[in-house]
Amino acid sequence: MWVKKPHRVSCCTVCLAVLWFSQTTALRAEWFNDERTLMGTQVRIELWADNALQARPAISAALAEIARIDAAMSVYRDDSEVSQLNQHAAKAPVRISAELFELLERAIGVFELTEGAFDITYAAAGVLYDFRDAQRPDEQALGQALQSVGSQRLLLDHGSRSVFFSQPGVRIDLGGIAKGYAVERATAALQRRGIHHALITAGGDSRFLGDRRGRPWRIGIRDPRNLERSAALLSIADEAISTSGDYERFFVEDGIRYHHILDPTTGRSSQAVTSVSVIGPDATITDALATGLFVLGVTKGKNTLKKFPAYDAIFIDRQGSLHVSKNVSKLSD
């Protein structure tokens, strides 16, 4: 029988291969990044890792976390947990996941502290708008919908971990908080994989982990009336920033800008300011608070912010002037 001689690999060849591998792909600390469309926006992750073998699974885990949260909390999917809640909770209490229960509690907490400006039940009125098709409700429809707005109509029961809507017509939409929450959770997923320097940004919500290796991250706040321009530049490390602006989804009719941030007391787009950015430790709160402070405007917004000592805000008013809460030092030249 003819036996093929095993191919002999010399020690030297192995050493050379390892050296090549380490120098080209896997074993070099550097910045890695990736992008994906999730939650209706472009999600971008940038991180510093020891090598690609650490970076790639970390990025995948962070993106998977955002996709998972979107699947549970989107109102654009009929099978999401939130859509199920909207369909059934006015008939009987609906038991929900611990994660959604906790997020609803936090949303209600921000509702109370902003005296109703941030309100996930705004959706009863919100659903009557279509910003792409320039559709808005008439006075009568709006008046009717407003009777179902108010987070006090969400009855949460800890024991059974269930939610009951106190009347028909109530519905929730987590559009003002879920993206920030997802970004925060995705950041935690990176941390669990030993990442110490990273940026996750999803539309108006960004979370910075650590600094940019020895220097802060730099981020621009868009000029709401000239989106190519920055109205302010910030230096940030280890914090989140969320911006709510009237330029994201809107249409103009008779000189009035109808946009996606509604004042829950009127059901109309808030005209108080053109943009609010909130900076602080948790992206869930910066997201919700940016939306709430947008509704409140500069004076009431600054007062409300006193209840959130770890958070700062930058308002841009309708004349284009900047109003900063207290930590002005964060603004770069």
Nearer residue to ligand ADP within complex by CB, 207 or 260: 260
The SS3 of residue 144 is: helix
**Bridge-partner residues for 259, per DSSP?**
250
176 binds ligand ADP (CB under 6 A): yes
Q: Does 175 bind Mg ion (CB under 5 A)?
A: no
**118 in contact with ligand ADP (CB under 6 A):** yes
- C-alpha–C-alpha distance, residues 160 and 32, integer Å: 44
Backbone angles phi, psi at 269, to 5 degrees: -60, 130
Q: Please name the amino acid found at residue 41.
A: T
Q: Please state the closest distance from residue 244 (CB atom) to ligand ADP, in A.
A: 3
Q: Which residue is nearest to ligand ADP (CB)?
A: 175
How far is residue 47 from each of residues 23, 220, 236, 295, measured CA to CA in Å? 19, 19, 15, 34
Minimum CB separation of residue 199 from ligand ADP in Å reads 17
Q: How far apart are CA 80 and CA 100, in angstroms?
A: 11
| 287 contributes a contact to Mg ion by CB under 5 A | yes
Dist. CA 280–CA 277, nearest whole Å: 10
Q: How far apart are CA 309 and CA 281, in angstroms?
A: 11
- Sheet hosting strand 154-157, strand order edge to edge: 94-95, 162-165, 154-157
Cα 91 to Cα 260: distance, rounded to the nearest angstrom: 29
* Least Å from the CB of residue 290 to Mg ion: 5
Min dist CB 20 to ligand ADP, Å, is: 45
Residue 49 identity (one-letter amino acid):
A
Residue 260 is a binding residue for ligand ADP (CB under 6 A): yes
| Among the listed residues 113, 186, 261, 293, the single contact to ligand ADP using CB under 6 A | 261
In the complex, least distance from residue 260 CB atom to ligand ADP, rounded to whole angstroms: 4
Whole-number Å distance between alpha carbons of 252 and 4: 79
**Residue 251 pairs with which residues in a beta bridge?**
258
Six-digit token string for 23: 């120098």
Structure tokens at 84: 């199920």
With CB under 6 A as the contact rule, the residue among 80, 83, 201, 244 that binds ligand ADP is 244
- 209 lies in the site for Mg ion, by CB under 5 A: no
246 contact choice in ligand ADP, Mg ion, none (CB below 5 to 8 Å, kind-dependent): none
What is the Cα–Cα distance from 169 to 122, expressed in whole angstroms? 11
CB of 39 to ligand ADP, least distance (A): 8
| Residues binding Mg ion: number (CB under 5 A) | 5
Q: Give 86 or 291: the residue with its C-beta nearer to ligand ADP.
A: 291
Chain mean position to CA 29: 29
Q: Which helix (H) or strand (E) holds 154?
A: strand 154-157
Among the candidate windows 134-142, 161-169, 219-227, 287-295, which touches ligand ADP by CB under 6 A?
287-295
Among positions 83, 291, 304, 325, the unique one binding Mg ion when judged by CB under 5 A: 291
Q: Choose the one of ligand ADP, Mg ion, none that binds residue 312, judging by a C-beta under 5 to 8 angstroms depending on kind.
A: none
Nearer to Mg ion, 96 or 178 (CB): 178
Residue choice 154, 186, 190, 295 for contact with ligand ADP (CB under 6 A) = 295
- Amino acid, single-letter form, for residue 55: A
Considering the complex, state which of residue 163 and residue 177 has its C-beta at the smaller distance from Mg ion: 177
**Of residues 173, 223, 239, 246, which one binds ligand ADP by CB under 6 A?**
173
Q: Hey, CA dihedral for 83, 84, 87, 93, is it positive or negative?
A: negative
Residue ranges binding Mg ion (CB under 5 A):
176, 244, 287, 290-291
Residue ranges binding ligand ADP (CB under 6 A):
118-120, 122, 126, 173, 175-176, 179, 203-204, 244, 248, 260-262, 264, 287, 290-291, 295
